[in-house]
């Protein structure tokens, strides 16, 4: 009886009310319905003994939001000396603590827990050959879901026990008539676990068989739970009045969600495999296009871009021909696939626990099955994370039929107290799978394959959504167009206030008509932000302010100049420095800031004059002040959405961007030189302007790290700041593709193709001179210029707005750069530095080690500056 009491307590009853209900009604669900009707409200806690003994309470730890000084494991659970019951659901759950001021218990098994992504679970999953049966009504042969398929993807022992229990209950055995007449109905696996081609076919077949009539007493009962079907509806506030047999009990909810999400996962996986297979025949060219053209970056390509080890570096950034054949057909195919997945998501969403559903809450909305959250975490989360992690905002907007339904799911989940915790829980993803030798089942000839699966925690749904919300905010900023700073608000007179409030003003006349494409992206961005806000409101209602505040503290953020300074400590080892650098660089890679020249410094007497910018393209920017070019605004919106979260950062090389907070077409970039090149760890600055015809035409880009216009660092980087790159139209080869090429491509092309390991090869006609003395001399000359200007010069006179970026970059990498400087000093050929980059033709060899060309002095000064940065950091900590 203890288990039944616990089940009722999970539904909200006090222990005393649960015992009283079970003494009167032997069936749990019938007792629960009577409890919800208020039949046991008069039962008080002091009328019965406590539900569990002290020893049992100890065995099941009661986790809460951890304090700083508590001993918490990686899942956010307080450690307990007693062993947990392995078969329990409470591997990482909480007990159901009574809420202050009443006897109601928390229906959320994760109440009070704040989860960490630092989790790793190893489980053995079983794959069996599925059985097939013929469904008489349809004359169709279908597969039956095996136990291994039903349990697949669940790394949590407690959840596994509930999944196993439900599968065993509904796949075999007899369901007795609840009225005790002795008659029973045999449950068959095909009743609940048949996998049809369509989900709606499954639910219709289930509807036909789930409500059974006893042959002896004529009473109706549910085949899923074995309870009687009562004609009297339970009276609850906001309860539904219809009689839908598929919402009768929580068992039905668990089975429908499990089978439906399994079908959804299968469809999603199949479509992803077809897409991947279609790329394989041209895998090599696809990889080249990825590195040269594609703006979106996955993890593998980010590492490739940042490594800076691409040979050649001729400045090309595109294929010789842009093939648009079949593009519309491919889009139509993608939309059809999205529509199919979106429709299936919509059909399954009906069966999610939802107390706010149209028509009122159903029984299963109040009695949530323990497997509901397990189904969502292991199957829906896979689809959710895939969709939110890999697509750009523009792509998502184009696939709105799918993403709007995904957002609807997230809102529905966050609205139910039993599911809301999932928004903050890490998504467990497969990181490795190892096959166990095949063996034969002892009960049949069915082949069984076992695999050891290792799962690790990754970003949860709310965290993934926040990254998209950041993109949406950036896109909205771009869609606003180029607007001057708003003057400070002045206090209005009473007459002005009345005029402002007057609804019969000229608001309609002032409305700006926007294009359909702009409106489409605008609406999508607003929907994303509305979903994020709705989830936060629901979490505050169900979990409390403290939980949401801690969740927000862990979310990715877009920093700006008004944010608190970010101080990071390099630690004592190279490994700690790398970790600190990556965390810091990821947080500060993109920021909005003020790039205007203060009025006191600007040469103007006109108070209404357009502001000046600390920017090479100042005149061009001022000419476009107050302009409204819808196509340009849309292009900038998409660009900003990509840049906010996709700029590559790595210990080896990173890209940092600063965008003017009122003029999003005014941009400054800093690229750190890639490892393995003569540019390594130097800081290279570029001014970028998105002109009036962007992105039908490429951006304007000027290289600014030139030692006052003296140094030519590369055949493609002139001393006057010209950047030779085919994407920019300043170099031969495939150029800018209107509507497709992006600023991110330009930046990555500079990082990986211009700042390359043998810059000598970028010169026309010298591409075949790899490894020659001339190439080595050119690189040595570049290294001398890098130390003097791109390192030491930038540290001594840090350019705005990158002063903090440059100082932190060198402080965190000080140990590594010190060793690098020593290595470069030994490798130097002793020749004088040639400002035009032609060190390979200048003079004879000097003393090895660069004693006569100023390199040794620059190296010593650079080391001194690095030491000073470290002393300042230590003083700051003290």
Confidence of residue 340 (pLDDT cuts 50, 70, 90): very high
Question: Where does residue 343 rank: exposed (0-12), middle (13-18), buried (19+ CB within 10 A)?
Answer: middle
For 742-757, the pLDDT digits (tens) are 999 999 999 999 999 9
Task: Quote the CA–CA distance of 244 and 358 in Å, as a whole number.
Answer: 13
> Can you tell me the mean pLDDT for 732-739?
86
User: What DSSP line would sit under 654-716, residue for residue?
Assistant: -EEEEEESS-TTEEEEEEEBPTTSTTBT-EEEEEEE--TTTTTSPPEEEE--STTTT---BTT
Show Cβ contacts of residue 139 under 8 Å, excluding neighbours closer than 6 positions: none
pLDDT at 99 over 70: no
DSSP state of 788: I
| Under 8 Å between Cβ of 128 and 151 | no
Show Cβ contacts of residue 759 under 8 Å, excluding neighbours closer than 6 positions: 313, 677, 678, 679, 713, 714, 715, 778, 779, 782, 837
pLDDT > 70: what percent of the chain?
A: 72
Instruction: Note the pLDDT of residue 360.
Output: 84
Instruction: Note the pLDDT of residue 296.
Output: 39
- Hey, which residues does 656 pair with through a beta bridge? 670
Instruction: Note the pLDDT of residue 446.
Output: 53
| Under 8 Å between Cβ of 420 and 534 | no
pLDDT at 844 over 80: no
Maximum mean pLDDT: which of 35-49, 153-167, 191-205, 490-504: 191-205
Task: Quote the CA–CA distance of 351 and 331 in Å, as a whole number.
Answer: 31
Terminal Cα distance for the chain, rounded: 61
pLDDT at 841 over 60: no
| Under 8 Å between Cβ of 216 and 176 | no
Q: What is the mean pLDDT of the chain?
A: 78
E-only strand ranges, 234-299? none
Confidence of residue 35 (pLDDT cuts 50, 70, 90): low
pLDDT at 605 over 80: no
DSSP state of 603: -
Return the higher-pLDDT residue of 441 and 318: 441
DSSP helix/strand/coil, 402: helix
Helices and strands (DSSP H and E) totals, the chain:
31, 15
Length of the chain: 878
Nearest to 146 by CA among 201, 188, 193, 186: 193
| Under 8 Å between Cβ of 866 and 787 | no
pLDDT at 75 over 50: no
Maximum mean pLDDT: which of 90-94, 543-547, 726-730: 726-730
pLDDT at 297 over 60: no
For the ranges 59-73, 193-207, 448-462, 598-612, the lowest mean pLDDT is seen at: 59-73
Instruction: Note the pLDDT of residue 195.
Output: 93
Please give the structure tokens belonging to residue 136.
């008489």
- Hey, which residues does 176 pair with through a beta bridge? 184
Return the higher-pLDDT residue of 126 and 283: 126
pLDDT at 486 over 70: no
pLDDT at 813 over 90: yes
Tell me which residues are annotated as active site.
Answer: 724
Please give the structure tokens belonging to residue 683.
């800081």
Confidence of residue 62 (pLDDT cuts 50, 70, 90): very low
pLDDT > 90: what percent of the chain?
A: 41
Instruction: Note the pLDDT of residue 284.
Output: 36
Order the strands of the 666-672 sheet from edge to edge. Answer: 590-593, 655-660, 666-672, 683-689, 700-703
Rounded alpha-carbon distances, angstroms, from residue 617 to 248, 286, 320, 444, 624 = 68, 36, 31, 77, 11
Confidence of residue 305 (pLDDT cuts 50, 70, 90): very low
pLDDT at 289 over 50: no
For 670-694, the pLDDT digits (tens) are 999 999 999 999 999 999 999 999 9
For 343-401, the pLDDT digits (tens) are 999 999 999 999 888 888 888 888 899 899 999 998 999 999 999 986 678 888 888 89
Q: At which residue do the structure tokens 């909305």 appear?
A: 365
pTM for the whole structure: 0.74
For the ranges 508-512, 564-568, 651-655, 798-802, the lowest mean pLDDT is seen at: 508-512
Confidence of residue 85 (pLDDT cuts 50, 70, 90): very low
Nearest to 791 by CA among 705, 687, 676: 705
DSSP helix/strand/coil, 815: helix
Please give the structure tokens belonging to residue 104.
């109601």
Nearest to 581 by CA among 504, 666, 675: 675
CB atoms within 10 A of CB 38: 11
Confidence of residue 103 (pLDDT cuts 50, 70, 90): very low
For the ranges 87-91, 312-316, 638-642, 719-723, the lowest mean pLDDT is seen at: 87-91
pLDDT at 582 over 60: yes
Task: Quote the CA–CA distance of 148 and 124 in Å, as a whole number.
Answer: 10
Q: At which residue do the structure tokens 């406590």 appear?
A: 50
Instruction: Note the pLDDT of residue 44.
Output: 67
Using DSSP bridges, classify how beta strands 447-458 and 590-593 pair: parallel, antiparallel or unpaired.
unpaired
| Under 8 Å between Cβ of 33 and 371 | no
Domains along the chain? 771-878 (3.10.110.10)
Instruction: Note the pLDDT of residue 487.
Output: 52
For the ranges 96-100, 159-163, 371-375, the lowest mean pLDDT is seen at: 96-100
pLDDT at 55 over 50: no
The alpha helices in 293-376, defined as continuous H runs, are: 299-307, 327-349, 363-366, 371-375
Confidence of residue 60 (pLDDT cuts 50, 70, 90): very low
Instruction: Note the pLDDT of residue 850.
Output: 47
For 854-875, the pLDDT digits (tens) are 899 999 999 999 999 988 877 7
Nearest to 205 by CA among 137, 132, 134, 131: 137
């Amino acid at each position: 009886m203890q288990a039944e009491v616990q089940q009722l307590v999970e539904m909200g009853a006090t222990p005393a009310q649960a015992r009283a209900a079970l003494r009167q009604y032997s069936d749990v669900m019938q007792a629960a319905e009577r409890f919800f009707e208020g039949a046991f409200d008069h039962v008080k806690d002091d009328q019965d003994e406590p539900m569990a003994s002290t020893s049992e309470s100890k065995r099941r730890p009661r986790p809460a939001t951890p304090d700083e000084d508590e001993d918490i494991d990686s899942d956010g659970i307080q450690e307990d000396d007693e062993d947990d019951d392995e078969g329990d659901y409470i591997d990482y759950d909480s007990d159901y603590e009574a809420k202050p001021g009443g006897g109601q218990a928390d229906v959320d098994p994760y109440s009070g827990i704040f989860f960490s992504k630092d989790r790793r679970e190893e489980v053995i999953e079983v794959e069996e050959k599925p059985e097939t049966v013929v469904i008489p009504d349809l004359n169709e042969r279908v597969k039956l879901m095996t136990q291994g398929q039903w349990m697949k993807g669940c790394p949590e022992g407690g959840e596994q026990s509930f999944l196993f229990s439900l599968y065993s209950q509904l796949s075999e055995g007899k369901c007795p008539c609840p009225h005790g007449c002795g008659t029973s109905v045999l449950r068959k696996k095909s009743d609940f676990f048949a996998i049809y081609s369509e989900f709606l076919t499954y639910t219709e077949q289930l509807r036909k068989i789930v409500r059974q009539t006893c042959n002896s007493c004529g009473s109706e009962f549910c085949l899923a739970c074995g309870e009687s079907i009562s004609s009297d509806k339970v009276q609850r506030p906001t309860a539904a009045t219809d009689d839908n047999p598929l919402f009768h009990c929580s068992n039905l909810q668990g089975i429908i969600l499990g089978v439906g999400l399994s079908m959804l996962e299968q469809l999603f996986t199949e479509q992803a495999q077809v897409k991947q297979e279609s790329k394989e025949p041209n895998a090599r060219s696809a990889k080249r296009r990825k590195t040269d053209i594609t703006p979106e970056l996955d993890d593998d390509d980010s590492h490739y871009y940042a490594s800076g080890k691409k040979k050649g570096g001729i400045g090309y950034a595109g294929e010789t021909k842009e093939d648009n054949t079949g593009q519309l057909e491919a889009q139509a195919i993608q939309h059809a696939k999205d529509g199919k997945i979106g429709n299936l998501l919509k059909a399954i969403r009906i069966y999610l626990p939802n107390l706010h559903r149209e028509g009122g809450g159903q029984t299963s909305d109040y009695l949530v099955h323990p497997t509901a959250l397990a189904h969502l975490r292991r199957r829906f989360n896979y689809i959710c994370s895939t969709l939110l992690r890999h697509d750009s905002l523009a792509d998502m907007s184009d696939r709105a039929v799918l993403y709007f339904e995904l957002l609807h799911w997230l809102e529905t989940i966050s609205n139910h107290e039993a599911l809301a915790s999932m928004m903050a829980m890490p998504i467990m993803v497969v990181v490795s799978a190892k096959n166990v030798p095949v063996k034969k089942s002892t009960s049949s000839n069915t082949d069984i394959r076992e695999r050891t699966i290792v799962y690790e925690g990754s970003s949860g749904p709310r965290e993934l959504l926040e990254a998209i919300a950041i993109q949406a905010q950036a896109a909205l900023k771009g869609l606003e167009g180029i607007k001057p700073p708003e003057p400070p608000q002045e206090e209005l007179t009473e007459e002005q206030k009345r005029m402002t409030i007057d609804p019969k003003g000229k608001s309609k006349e002032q409305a700006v008509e926007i294009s359909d494409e702009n409106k489409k992206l605008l609406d999508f961005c607003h929907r994303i932000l509305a979903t994020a806000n709705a989830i936060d409101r629901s979490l505050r209602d169900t979990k409390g302010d403290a939980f949401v505040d801690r969740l927000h503290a862990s979310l990715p953020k877009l920093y700006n100049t008004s944010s608190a300074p970010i101080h990071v400590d390099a630690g004592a080892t190279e490994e700690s420095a790398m970790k600190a650098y990556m965390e810091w660089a990821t947080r500060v890679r993109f920021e909005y800031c003020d790039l205007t020249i203060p009025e006191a410094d600007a040469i103007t007497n006109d108070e209404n004059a357009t502001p000046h910018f600390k920017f090479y393209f100042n005149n061009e920017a001022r000419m476009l002040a107050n302009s409204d070019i819808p196509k340009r605004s849309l292009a900038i919106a998409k660009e900003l959405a990509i840049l906010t979260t996709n700029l590559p950062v790595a210990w080896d090389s990173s890209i940092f961007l600063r965008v003017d907070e009122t003029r999003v077409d005014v941009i400054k970039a800093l690229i750190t030189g890639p490892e393995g090149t003569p540019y390594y760890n130097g800081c290279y600055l570029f001014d970028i302007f998105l002109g009036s015809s962007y992105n039908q035409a490429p951006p304007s880009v000027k290289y600014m790290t030139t030692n006052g216009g003296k140094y030519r660092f590369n055949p493609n980087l002139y001393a006057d700041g010209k950047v030779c790159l085919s994407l920019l139209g300043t170099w031969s080869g495939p150029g800018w593709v209107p509507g497709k090429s992006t600023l991110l491509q330009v930046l990555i092309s500079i990082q990986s193709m211009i700042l390359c390991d043998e810059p000598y090869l970028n010169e026309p006609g010298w591409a075949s001179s790899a490894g020659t003395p001339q190439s080595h001399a050119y690189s040595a000359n570049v290294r001398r210029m890098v130390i003097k200007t791109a390192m030491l010069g930038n540290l001594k006179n840090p350019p705005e707005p990158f002063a903090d970026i440059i100082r932190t970059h060198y402080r965190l990498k000080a140990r590594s750069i010190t060793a690098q400087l020593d290595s470069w000093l030994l490798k130097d050929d002793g020749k004088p530095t040639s400002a035009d980059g032609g060190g390979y033709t200048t003079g004879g060899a000097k003393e090895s080690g660069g004693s006569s060309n100023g390199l040794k002095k620059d190296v010593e000064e650079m080391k001194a500056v690095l030491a000073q940065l470290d002393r300042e950091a230590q003083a700051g900590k003290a």
